[in-house]
Chain A
Amino acid sequence: MSANATQITPQVVAEHGLTTEEYDVILQSLGREPNITELGIFSVMWSEHCSFKTSRVHLKKLPTQAPWVIQGPGENAGVIDIGDGDAAIFKMESHNHPSYIEPYQGAATGVGGILRDVFTMGARPVANMNALRFGAPDHPKMRHLISGVVAGIGGYGNCVGVPTVGGEVNFHPAYNGNILVNAMTVGLARTDKIFYSAAAGLGNPVVYVGSKTGRDGIHGATMASAEFTEDSEEKRPTVQVGDPFTEKLLIEACLELMASDAIVAIQDMGAAGLTSSSVEMASKGGVGLELDLDKVPCREEGMVPYEMMLSESQERMLMILKPGREAFAEAIFHKWGLDFAVIGTITDTGRLVLKFKGETAADIPLGPLGDNAPMYERPWVPTPKRAALPADQVAEPNDYGAALLRLIGSPDMASRRWIWEQYDHMVMADTIQRPGGDAAVVRVHGTSKALAISTDCTPRYCFADPVEGGKQAIAEVWRNITAVGARPLAVTDCMNFGNPQRPEIMGQFVGCIEGMAEACSALDFPVVSGNVSLYNETNGTGILPTPAIGGVGLLDDWDRMATIAFKAEGETVVLVGETLGHLGQSLYLREILGREDGPPPPVDLVAERRAGDLVRQQILGGGLSAVHDLSDGGLAGALVEMALAGKIGAVIEVPGDVEHPHAWLFGEDQGRYLVTTTEPLALLGAAQEAGVPAQVIGRTAGDRVVIGTLADVALADLELAHEEWLPGLMA
């Protein structure tokens, strides 16, 4: 039987997720009917995941340029210049569908995949982050999913020896049938040793390294491009299986080879495996490729071209070497116990030709495969604006102290210690701000510099108003990075949305992009890499729109870094930024009153920047002892977190002109920070000069959090409420 014996019927085409129109374009592109291998290649390359066919038109609106951007979107990861010949390379990617079906392996291979995207560019990975969204905590599947995802992220990251330094977690019933697992890796390289993926050099060898190819993960990219139904669990065999030990060896072997000049181009085999790596490398370089599939290292007997090209076996890379350097490279990979095989050569035909057992298994013109890829401008409707929700329409708590305890122990605010203690967050010994702060901070080894890294997004804001929510996600990451004293430089995004064929979902996507673009421009915070995950729906119910943002900033001198912990008693607590008392979509509203109402807080990007620049300048000038940005839970939430981190209480007075104390305490107005200082007059003077509202609201003292006559709660009680929720859920 020939390897391509399967007949192409309309049913086979449909099973590959291709529409009739798309199939017609394939017929035109080839000038004949495809065989099954060719159909498989078209289907994965034109899947939503690989082709960005729905999102491309809109992603173009995001700013991607800045003087410090070395490489924007379009490569394996984004690259920014951090001075002195150093570059930071980073990206965030989703592994949502696999993680719901098989949480441990789904999350683990998500980490493995994003690590490869970064070290394939020549960087040593130095930090992992993750942005997780789970369903209602009491949903029957959720504990299984949480424990599996956390163990999977830890199991992979701990073994490869890259610290998992932080992240974020939200819980909402909208994720009950479709959790989100977004993983981010940050790496460091020298600016003159960055590796790209464009193939070049007629006759140069195409080399396969890493693990052998098995039958796992076939059609993963196609699965990630369709909605879920009850029987999605049957797709478990399409989830890949990770081997972090091999990944660790692959990192070391690649970095060792990269120290030489033997590599022309390199790309990892991620989604759609050998297909996407070979097609993308050849297309970017404008060359053809001929691969001899008999030479592909296979884990199983009798694999056919269709399987080899669509396998998503993990821990594999494709490289173009300079001629004559094969033996040199092979020795390095063999030293690390990894497979190394020359599987093809670069041609000038502009075609991808696959040979197998003496026959041509596929022959595809690369131009049409890329140029004719579908691109859709799907219809969309804007999300209707919500009516304002004034504070007098929101009830005060009966007991402020009880509300504080409840809020600090609520699913979205409770301590994540149970999670991050399962991650090695200190390996490499350069983690100088551990999980629990506004941003993780990791030193650039052997220098005075450090990277500040944060992931954030507030999906309930995005759902209520995608434009403001998109703005807020960018602004909050920028604020988190600022709050440790770093200069925010660039972001990666992971766009998680429902089914884009529904105009209201498409409207969420378009709205979030619009808000993000506006914030990125206003804050000089360009997008340098990203990933789109659509069809996050189960049985027609979409997730909350979740444009998860991962940002990176630079501290020139890590000695100046700020942290959230109160440092000493008797210091002045100052609120920086304007407080209007916006309670719409606040955590207070949801957790205390059980309402998800109103518009999210608007983001004034000019005020945001002004307040952030002031706070950063004050941190670097040594004027502040503790800094925390205000987000979930507003002023009250930040105050408690600072007190708990420092194990020092505070006495706060509600200013006399405040009409609604609950709005002042729990409102989630943007662009604000809570800081402590021993020189309040200097800070207030600087704030006035900068045009930033700033107000003394109290001082650090004792072991209780006292808010005027409204609340007086022992730190020990707050700590218990904050710390016991997640271990209690998972016990």
Chain B
Amino acid sequence: MKSAVIVFPGSNCDRDMATALEQIGGTPPAMVWHGDHDLPDGLDLIALPGGFSYGDYLRSGAMAAQSPVMREVVRAATRGVKVLGVCNGFQILTEAGLLPGALMRNAGLKFVCRDVRLRVENAATAYSSGYAAGQEIRVPVAHHDGNYFADDALLERLEGNGQVVFRYLDNPNGSRHDIAGIINEAGNVLGMMPHPERLIEPIQGGTDGRPLFESVLATGR
């Protein structure tokens, strides 16, 4: 399994993501600077970490989506390489057009950091096969702009295709249909607001984030 974590100016969960990938997968990911024009060869997984890329100025994820390296990420995603976006990474994926919909300011208007309960809606993806369908898990969120919006037609399509992978049981941000994470139609690009990389050891308060990484690693290339 060869993975890379993209580092944007203002990324701040890049090292957490790298730690999770290394602890669970055994090999450290390549850390790729946003200004680079090339990705390492033969990647199986590209992770876009959480944080405040470009200070969240303009719109969360909007500027990062225009970074030189993102053209390569889009190209790799089109080729079928797996791309995981967590929190700010999810925002970047929607801004880059790799995932549909948008993430707006939380309905409560405040930053929210707490554990939330999620239901695994689709356990048949490359990212969720380590969970059981319908399983309830607990993963932390930490964001200001996690309110997922899609119009009715898109929501119908997402639901119909099984593209909603994780759903909030106690919606912290006003997301439509309680959506916490979605996957693209091809099944290789996943975006989610909760942070699975923060819950991989019991001492962190639980290990419900671990199966996500184990799933990706199990599917390999």
Contact = CB atoms under 8 A, between A and B. Distances in A.
Interface of A: 151, 154-155, 158-161, 243-246, 248-249, 335-337, 420-429, 431-432, 434, 443, 445, 558-559
Nearest to A337: B9
Interface string B151-191: 00000000000000000000000000000000000000000
B125 to A, nearest CB: 24
A431 B52 CA distance: 20
A432 B205 CA distance: 7
8 contacts: A154-B111, A161-B52, A336-B9, A424-B111, A427-B16, A429-B16, A432-B203, A434-B205
A420 B112 CA distance: 9
B209 to A, nearest CB: 10
Contacts of A159: 10, 12, 52, 55-56
B113 A429 contact: no
A246 B200 CA distance: 31
Interface centre among A159, A243, A426, A428 (most CB of B within 10 A): A426
A655 to B, nearest CB: 37
B51 A426 contact: no
B113 A421 contact: yes
Given A159-B55, A159-B56, A244-B52, A422 B9 contact: no
Contacts of B138: none
B13 A161 contact: yes
A244 B111 CA distance: 15
Nearest first, the 9 closest Cβ-Cβ pairs linking A and B are: A161-B12, A245-B55, A429-B16, A424-B142, A159-B52, A432-B203, A424-B113, A429-B198, A422-B111
B111 A158 contact: yes
Contact of A429 (B51, B52, B110, B197): B197
B149 interface: no
Contacts of B20: 429
A245 B55 CA distance: 5
Nearest to B14: A161
Contacts of A428: 15-16
Contacts of A244: 52, 55
B37 to A, nearest CB: 15
Nearest to B114: A421
A243 B55 contact: yes
B111 A426 contact: no
B85 interface: no
Contact of A245 (B54, B112, B195, B203): B54
Contacts of B203: 432, 443, 558-559
Contacts of A421: 110, 112-114
A249 B111 contact: no
Contact of B57 (A160, A245, A429): A245
Nearest to A159: B52
Interface string B18-43: 01100000000000000100000000
B142 A158 contact: yes
Given A159-B52, A248-B12, A426 B198 contact: yes
Interface string B102-123: 0000000011111000000000
Contacts of A337: 9
A422 B113 contact: yes
Interface of B: 9-13, 15-16, 19-20, 35, 50-52, 54-57, 110-114, 140, 142, 144, 195, 197-198, 200, 203-205
Dominant SS at the B interface? mixed
Contacts of A161: 11-13, 51-52
B55 A429 contact: no
Given A158-B142, A422-B111, A559-B203, 17 more contacts: A161-B12, A161-B13, A161-B51, A244-B55, A335-B35, A337-B9, A421-B112, A421-B114, A424-B113, A426-B195, A427-B12, A427-B50, A427-B198, A429-B16, A429-B204, A434-B205, A445-B19
Contacts of A432: 203-205
Contacts of B13: 161, 427
Nearest to B49: A161
B165 to A, nearest CB: 22
Dominant SS at the A interface? mixed
A248 B198 contact: no
Nearest to B33: A335
A245 B113 contact: no
A336 B114 CA distance: 31
B142 A422 contact: no
Nearest to A147: B110
A502 B219 CA distance: 73
A245 B111 contact: no
B93 to A, nearest CB: 20
Contacts of B114: 421
B113 A425 contact: yes
Contacts of B111: 151, 154-155, 158, 422-424
Contacts of B200: 429
Nearest to B203: A432
B205 to A, nearest CB: 7
A246 B55 CA distance: 8
B48 to A, nearest CB: 15
A245 B197 CA distance: 23
Given A161-B51, A245-B52, A245-B55, A422 B112 contact: yes
A719 to B, nearest CB: 16
A257 B52 CA distance: 22
B52 A426 contact: no
A423 B113 CA distance: 6
Given A248-B12, A427-B142, A158 B52 contact: yes
Interface centre among A249, A425, A427, A428 (most CB of B within 10 A): A427
Nearest to A162: B12
Contacts of A154: 111
A427 B12 CA distance: 8
A249 B9 contact: yes
B142 A426 contact: yes
A434 B140 CA distance: 12
Contacts of A423: 111, 113
A428 B195 CA distance: 11
Contacts of A335: 35
A428 B17 CA distance: 9
Given A422-B111, A422-B113, A249 B10 contact: yes
Contacts of A151: 110-111
B19 A426 contact: no
A249 B205 CA distance: 30
A243 B13 CA distance: 19
Contacts of A245: 9-10, 52, 54-57
Contacts of B55: 159, 243-246, 248
B55 to A, nearest CB: 3
Contact of B10 (A248, A443, A558): A248
A244 B10 CA distance: 9
Contacts of A443: 203
A429 B12 contact: no
Nearest to A559: B203
A429 B198 CA distance: 5
Contacts of B15: 428
A71 to B, nearest CB: 26
A450 to B, nearest CB: 9
B96 to A, nearest CB: 20
Nearest to A432: B203
A432 B197 CA distance: 14
A150 to B, nearest CB: 9
A9 to B, nearest CB: 44
B112 to A, nearest CB: 6
Given A158-B52, A159-B55, A421-B113, A429 B19 contact: yes
Given A158-B52, A248-B52, A426 B113 contact: yes
Contacts of A434: 205
B192 to A, nearest CB: 16
Nearest to B53: A245
Nearest to B50: A427
A185 B57 CA distance: 25
